[in-house]
Structure 1
Amino acid sequence: MNAPPDTRQLQQLWRRHLTSAGRGDPDISIGMAASFTAETAIPLLGGLLLAAGYTGPDLRLAGYNQLAQTCLAPEGSFDGHIPQIFVLLFRLEDLADSADKASEAYDTISAAMSRLRQTVESEIVISLPPRPRQPAGRVTEFPRGNDWLGLWHRVSSDLLAFAGNHASVYLLDLEQIIGALGEASALSPQGEYLYRQPFTGTMQLHMSRALARIIDARMKPARKCIVIDCDNTLWGGIIGEDGIGGVELGPDFPGRAYVEFQSQLKALRMAGTLLAISSKNNPQDVLEMFDSHPAMVLRRDDISVFQVNWEAKSRAIENIAAELNIGIDSLVFVDDSSFEIEEVRVRFPEVACLQVPNDVEQLPDLLVDNGFLFDKLTITSEDRTRTEMMRSDRQRRDQGKTLTAEEFLRTVELRVDFNPYRDEDLARFVQLINKSNQFNLTTRRYSADDIRAMRSDRQTDLFSVTVGDKFGDYGLVGICILKAEGKVARVDSLLMSCRVLGRGVETAMLAQAVALARARGCDAIVGEYRPTKKNAMVSDLYPQHGFVPADEDGLFIRNTESLPSPEHLAVTLPATGFMQ
């Protein structure tokens, strides 16, 4: 992977952007307020967004230490503009000269942040403030601590609860960054005294990178699956030679490093990342290790696909992607062998390849340093049960092998539930809309703010589809956005997870779209297909359902007479209907 741009490169990127004659409309707007001098962070964050692919980031900075005022009257802080993302950064010691007064000041800011969350639909990033480092306190606090430390713990707990209880509120942990860099590298006493800028250039760069990572995760899809080698990766040693009792895995070094690495992988699985094994080994040896070794954190049920054989790792990668029905570019590959890493990298450059470090004590840092590959701002219920869903998929495939396609669909007891947009589904709506590429007719991308705005538009219907069968639930897998324009309804977006392809769900979704258009009094419904590199599979969806080409390229039209859903689907509609 290429090294990230440094401070000088980012500043140059930002200067070129500001002086570019061809600057277009902003594709992202950010308003920042800070209790310290933050001007030097703007070009770093702006440069990082440009490097990430944004073409017109609009960054605005509120007045110095105007956090409460910015939350209560954001237009006044940002020239009448409401940004898509608010960034609120503060230190407790900047708020007042005593812990008691700082506590009162924080309570004022906290109330203002709550007001901001209620009055704008923007996303909000708030710093978890660093531990106060008051010079006087450091002289007198040993070994008791002081009021500032107590305040810091209270505020941290309060902000964690605030983010947990409100949608689209995210936290930036400044103390974590300081701890990773070390105080000598992160803090600048001279800058604090001279410019009210307490952080070094290095700290500002890492803080900006963390901010950019949060912002970028709004639109960038996380990698869906991590493919892991076994020997000298999940445990130390070679299972085929050392046996279960001879490999290094347990509470002592070096086995402890492997235990912690497995714990990280388990956490990723619980957050929705699929785990797969690619190992050149005897299958029985590997499965016995997963089933029997007492120190194994990962068990057989945690793994979605096992590829344990003597074939090339690139072949295993290909098989895993096919088995999971995901793109090769959705995979991360971890191996201790330079040869295996290079073989996969040459064959599939789109796979993110991570090599196990030579020093085993650094193994737990491997996923931490590359955590951006798996970034998700929200974790949905579908994410948490993804491995179980894949296991149900395997059962479906096994049964399908003995039946014709029609017989199989009749026997699996498919259930399709339609619902109008619900606030509790917002995170899943944002996730599907921004990360579905194959079964997506228009690939329009919308933020949480966009979805809320459409929800309040009385000419727009948003509905979702949840699918299940006798083997288990697929979860919320499809979304349709329908906009009424006089006597014509237009399908703005129609998208679906590929996990339910070939089951007739897409026909049921179009049937409901036609029914909604008819209920609104529309005579015609127009669908649009915007081709991309990945959505060729849906190029003929509309013609297959009675739509004919319209005058404009990519548009298809049909009347709103009833379109039947497949007979093998048990379709459920909400009692209140879809109409707003």
Structure 2
Amino acid sequence: MTTTTAAEQLLRLHRTGRLASDYPLVRDLLADVPPESRDLLRRAGAWLSRLNPDEVLRAHPDTSALTVAITGHGTLAALIAPLTVEFARHGLLLRPVLSDFDSYVVDLSDSDSDLYSARPEIVLCLLDPALIFDEVPTPWRPEDVRAVFEAKVALVAGLAARFAERGAGTLVLNTIPLPRTRTAALVDHRSRAELGAAWREANARLLRLTAAHRNVVVVDTDSLLADGIPAGDARLSVYAKAHLSTELLAGYAREIGHLARNLTGRAKKVLAVDLDGTVWGGVLGDDGPEGIEVADGYRGEAFRAFQRTVRQLAAQGVLVAAVSKNDIEPVRTVLREHPGMTLREDDFVRVVANWRPKHENLVELAEDLNVGVDSVVFADDSPYERGLVRRELPAVAVITLDDEPAWHVDRLLADGWFDTVELTAEDRDRPTKYRDELVRKDFLNSFDSIQDYLSELGVAVRVFAAGEQDVNRVAQLSLRTNQFNLTTRRLQPADVQALIRDPDALVLALRTADRFGDNGLVGAILAHREADVLHIDNFLLSCRVFARGVEQTALSVLLRHARDTGAGSVVGAYRSSAKNSKVREFYPRNGFSTVTDDGAEAVFRHDLVDIAAPPEHVTLTEELG
């Protein structure tokens, strides 16, 4: 769909008053709008920001709505429209809570403030240059700026610590851009260099706050300004106290949209790339291995840069697959033997090369990897292939590439499809583990029965009390796991850390291994005790290890632990989502009786009289502390 067509359809929805009733269409209309189409995004943001979120939810109750509190030093109302449109691009709904001018200190330090009362999932505290220069004397020297900035960093660090104590939501800060008008006001270059050094050192301390607090994120504005957008607008700054430009706010909003997508479990897992015209130049079937553009020449260098970026993503846990209309053997030959290739066959979890429609291959790829098609990002230079995938698989994120390979990297990274708050060791090992999983599937196909397969697989399960070193991975499971997620409760690292430290809470982690290797930390059970009842707040399990007896083993351990520590019963809940229907009957199938069930939510109870033993094919290790 062209940008013009998207604009016309959005305008039609706006004029006919159907934006709320047709809200899911907005995501599809905006999906392919590039960041440089600022005018369309600005207009769409203005229309969407006028919607009443409750009206959208009445029409579409399954829409994920996030409360976002906005505070800072300057006037920030202009952020709401771009933030609204960026949320809509990812199928999310914004509930903004805008603070008064320059109220960030009170907002973040007073636990009774309106900001905390709103219980936001995300808090945006925007920092701007006026925060520093409003307190610098006139005339001033670089050391004056250094002193003020250091004091402000100390203040912000204290506010971040105060926020972290509450353990609720994610606080987003930002580095502060240095306006040219400030450096140019110094006439000697040595002073300018001293100012630049002091400014960057202070910003570096802001960036390091993410290491001190698990629920703090810092957006680095330098990467946004590097794209050529202005940091501020002199008129808006002087007359309206809006010290960050509308262009910078739009770029910032895009980053927050990526963060919100991650926090609601919508991060992507699979990058499926075309080969001809995408990974290399030319058509392998026509040009042969010696004729494709890989590394030599200026276009070859552009394809090499794209390959390096794809490999960089794979090294951080993105599951990279090739989906190409080609014969498989020539493709494998190029990936294994071509001297100019950066990507090799081992960098892909799956290489699919045939002449079937690509949307069919993508469905099969998702099934093989045991992920939903909405976890897939598809990059192709062919308008026909992209259009077909968009029509047949609207849940797949499609990246528009064309015959200019120099733009491939920018377009691949523009929407931060694989962004996450923090990488874990399991992330980096994910491609290897998924390749092992495909070997397991081939192994399964050699058996006549699933029980024979499981007996030979050698499943080992370790159930243990989670510690501080497991916080990030358990939080990530709650954010990224959608299928085996009983209540879809999303937790930030600070939330998990608080539970681990709570004497009335229980956080169990699950690690598994088998004859093909270690699967890592693949599941968690979160529970808390009230009198003699143990309540299961959530049960999470990676889709990689479904149906091997892991879930039954872990539940058996939990039930026995509850009985042995004096509990009279265990209560578990199920909350329906778009993806977890396969676990609706998990508790009833494992000895729980139904207490309530209204279709959307259900509560189940186990009386701890008859507790099933772990499956015989599982080797169990318990370390409950």
TM normalised by structure 1 equals 0.88
Within the alignment, does 1:402 sit opposite 2:446 as a pair? yes
* Structure-1 separation of matches of 2:54 and 2:557: 50
Which residue is equivalent to 2:41? 6
Provide the C-alpha distance between the structure 2 equivalents of 1:136 and 1:347, rounded to a whole number of angstroms. 54
Q: Deviations over 1:283-340 (max 9, x none)?
A: 2211121122233221111101111122222222122112111112221222222222
Give the drift of 1:233: 0.8
Deviation at 1:500, TM superposition (A): 0.9
Residue matched to 1:99: 142
- Tell me how many residue pairs correspond in the alignment: 571
- Cα distance in 2 for partners of 1:79, 1:276 equals 44
8 Å CA contact retained: 1:313, 1:344: yes
Find the counterpart in structure 1 of residue 22 from structure 2. none
Moved more, 444-453 or 158-167: 444-453
Aligned to 1:195: 240
Do the aligned residues in 1 keep the contact of 2:107 with 2:114 (CA within 8 Å)?
yes
Shift in CA distance, 33/476, structure 1 to aligned 2, threshold 3 Å: same
Separation of aligned partners in 1, 2:453 and 2:89: 49
Match of 1:555 among 588, 597, 603: 603
Letter in 1 for 2:612: L
Distance change in 2, residues 1:280/1:29 (3 Å): closer
The partner residue of 2:97 within 59, 74, 78 is 59
SS of the residue aligned with 2:362?
helix
> 2:50, 2:355 → 1: CA distance?
53
Aligned partner of residue 147 in structure 1, secondary structure: helix
Aligned to 2:215, which of 146, 164, 168?
168
Q: 1:133 to 1:68 in 2, by over 3 A?
A: farther
Q: CA separation of 1:532/1:376 partners in 2, compared to 1, >3 Å: closer, same or farther?
A: same
Aligned amino acid, residue 220 of structure 2? D
For residues 312 and 84 of structure 1, the distance between their equivalents in structure 2, rounded to whole angstroms, comes to: 41
CA distance in 2, matches of 1:543, 1:106: 59
SS in 2 for 1:95: helix
Give yes or no for contact 1:437–1:534 (8 Å, CA) kept in 2: yes
CA distance 1:68–1:488, shift in 2 (3 Å): closer
1:280–1:311: 8 Å Cα contact kept in structure 2? yes
The unaligned stretches of length 5 or more in structure 1 are none
Indicate how the Cα distance of structure 1 residues 219 and 536 shifts in structure 2: closer, same or farther if over 3 A, else same.
closer
> Which one-letter code corresponds to 2:431 in the other structure?
T
Equivalent residues in 2 for 1:75-94 (5 A)?
75=112, 78=115, 84-92=121-129, 94=131
Out of 41, 54, 57, the residue aligned to residue 79 of structure 2 is: 41
- Residue ranges of structure 2 left out of the alignment (5+ in a row): 1-27, 34-39
- Comparing 506-515 with 433-442, which one deviates more in the overlay? 433-442
Asked whether the equivalents of residues 528 and 536 of structure 2 are also in contact (C-alpha less than 8 Å), the reply is: yes
> What SS does the corresponding residue of 1:163 show, helix, strand or coil?
helix
Aligned partner letter, 2:42 = T
Deviation for aligned residue 1:409:
2.6
Q: Give matches, 1:122-137, under 5 Å.
A: 122=168, 123-135=170-182, 137=184
1:380 to 414, 421, 424: 424
The answer to whether the Cα contact below 8 Å between 2:183 and 2:195 also exists between their aligned partners in 1 is no
Question: How many Å apart are 1:232 and its aligned residue?
Answer: 0.9
1:354 to 384, 399, 424: 399
Change (3 A) 1:82 1:116: farther
Pick closer, same or farther for the CA change 1:296–1:62 going to 2, 3 Å.
farther
Q: 1:178 to 1:568 in 2, by over 3 A?
A: same
Alignment partner of 1:374: what SS? coil
In structure 1, the partner of 2:155 is 112
* Aligned partner letter, 1:566: P
Taking a change above 3 Å as real, the CA distance of residues 137 and 193 of structure 1, as seen in their structure-2 partners, is same
Mapped partners of 2:290, 2:570: distance in 1: 66
1:143, distance to aligned residue in structure 2 (A): 8.7
Report the counterpart of residue 572 of structure 1 in structure 2.
621
Match of 1:147 in 2: 194
Counterparts of 2:79 and 2:604 in 1: how far apart (Å)? Answer: 48
1:412 paired with 2:469, answer no
Deviates more, 1:163-172 or 1:297-306: 163-172
Comparing 450-459 with 488-497, greater Cα deviation is found at 450-459
- Amino acid corresponding to residue 95 of structure 1 in structure 2: I
1:34 aligned partner, one-letter code? G
**2:386 alignment partner, SS class:** helix
1:461 counterpart residue number = 506
Stretch of structure 1 that moved more, 468-477 or 15-24? 15-24
Range that drifts further, 489-498 or 70-79: 70-79
Amino acid at match of 1:109: K
Deviates further, 492-501 or 5-14: 5-14
Partners of 1:196 and 1:129 in 2: CA distance: 16
**CA shift for structure 1 position 166:** 3.4
Partner amino acid, structure 1, of 2:606: R
- 1:75 and 1:81 in contact (8 A); partners too: no
CA contact (8 A) 2:142 2:191 kept: no
> Match of 2:365?
320
Measure the CA separation in 1 of the matches of 2:361 and 2:340. Answer: 27
TM-score, length basis structure 2: 0.82
Specify the SS of the correspondent of 2:308.
helix
Q: Which amino acid aligns with 1:167?
A: R
Instruction: Out of 310-319 and 397-406, give the one that drifted further.
Output: 397-406
SS of the aligned residue for 1:550 comes to: strand
Query: Does the CA-based 8 Å contact 1:222-1:375 persist in structure 2?
Result: yes
1:309 is the counterpart of 2:379: no
User: Is 1:132–1:149's contact at 8 Å kept on the other side of the alignment?
Assistant: no
Distance in 1 of aligned mates of 2:92 and 2:323: 36
Q: Over residues 200-228 of structure 1, what are the superposed CA-to-partner deviations in whole Å (9 max), with x where a residue is unaligned?
A: 33333332333333234211421211111
Q: 1:230 aligns with which of 253, 259, 275?
A: 275
- The amino acid of 2:419's aligned partner reads D
Aligned-partner Cα distance in 2 for 1:319–1:78: 46
Give the conservation status (yes or no) of the 8 Å contact 1:480–1:493: yes
Which segment is superposed worse, 548-557 or 144-153? 548-557
Native 8 Å contact 1:29 1:85 kept in 2:
yes
Letter in 2 for 1:572: T
Spell out, residue by residue over 1:14-45, the C-alpha distance to the aligned partner (whole angstroms, 9 max, x if none).
44439989999x96444444344334324543
Task: Give 1:70 shift.
Answer: 5.6
Query: Could you tell me whether the CA contact under 8 Å between 1:92 and 1:102 is conserved in 2?
Result: no
Measured at CA, do residues 412 and 366 of structure 1 come closer, stay the same or move farther in structure 2, by a change above 3 Å?
same
Identity of aligned residues (%): 26
Alpha-carbon distance between aligned partners in 1 of 2:203 and 2:95, rounded to the nearest angstrom: 30
Assess if the C-alpha contact under 8 Å between 2:595 and 2:603 holds in 1. Answer: yes
Distance 1:329 1:113, change over 3 A: same
Amino acid at match of 2:320: L
Instruction: Name the SS of the counterpart of 1:253 in structure 2.
Output: helix
User: How far apart in 1 are the matches of 2:57 and 2:288?
Assistant: 64
User: Could you say if the C-alpha distance between residues 47 and 312 of structure 1 is closer, same or farther in structure 2, counting changes exceeding 3 Å?
Assistant: closer
Residue 389 of structure 1 deviates from its aligned partner by 0.1
Give distance in 1, aligned partners of 2:344 and 2:546. Answer: 30
Secondary structure of 1:146's match? Answer: helix
Give the Cα–Cα distance (whole angstroms) in 2 for the partners of residues 132 and 94 of structure 1: 12
Q: 1:241 to 1:95 in 2, by over 3 A?
A: same
Q: Is the 8 A contact 2:146 2:199 kept in 1?
A: no
* Superposition pairs of residues 516-555 of structure 1, within 5 angstroms: 516-550=561-595, 554-555=602-603
Instruction: Say which is worse superposed, 144-153 or 472-481, in terms of deviation.
Output: 144-153
What is the letter of the counterpart of residue 615 of structure 2? Answer: P
In structure 2, C-alpha distance between the alignment counterparts of 1:75 and 1:419, rounded to whole Å: 38
| Segment of structure 1 superposing worse, 247-256 or 481-490 | 481-490
Cα deviation code 1:258-307 (max 9, x no counterpart): 11111221122122211111112222211121122233221111101111
> 1-side partners of 2:56 and 2:388: how far apart?
45
Letter in 2 for 1:345: R
Q: Return the offset for 1:349.
A: 2.3
SS in 1 for 2:529: strand
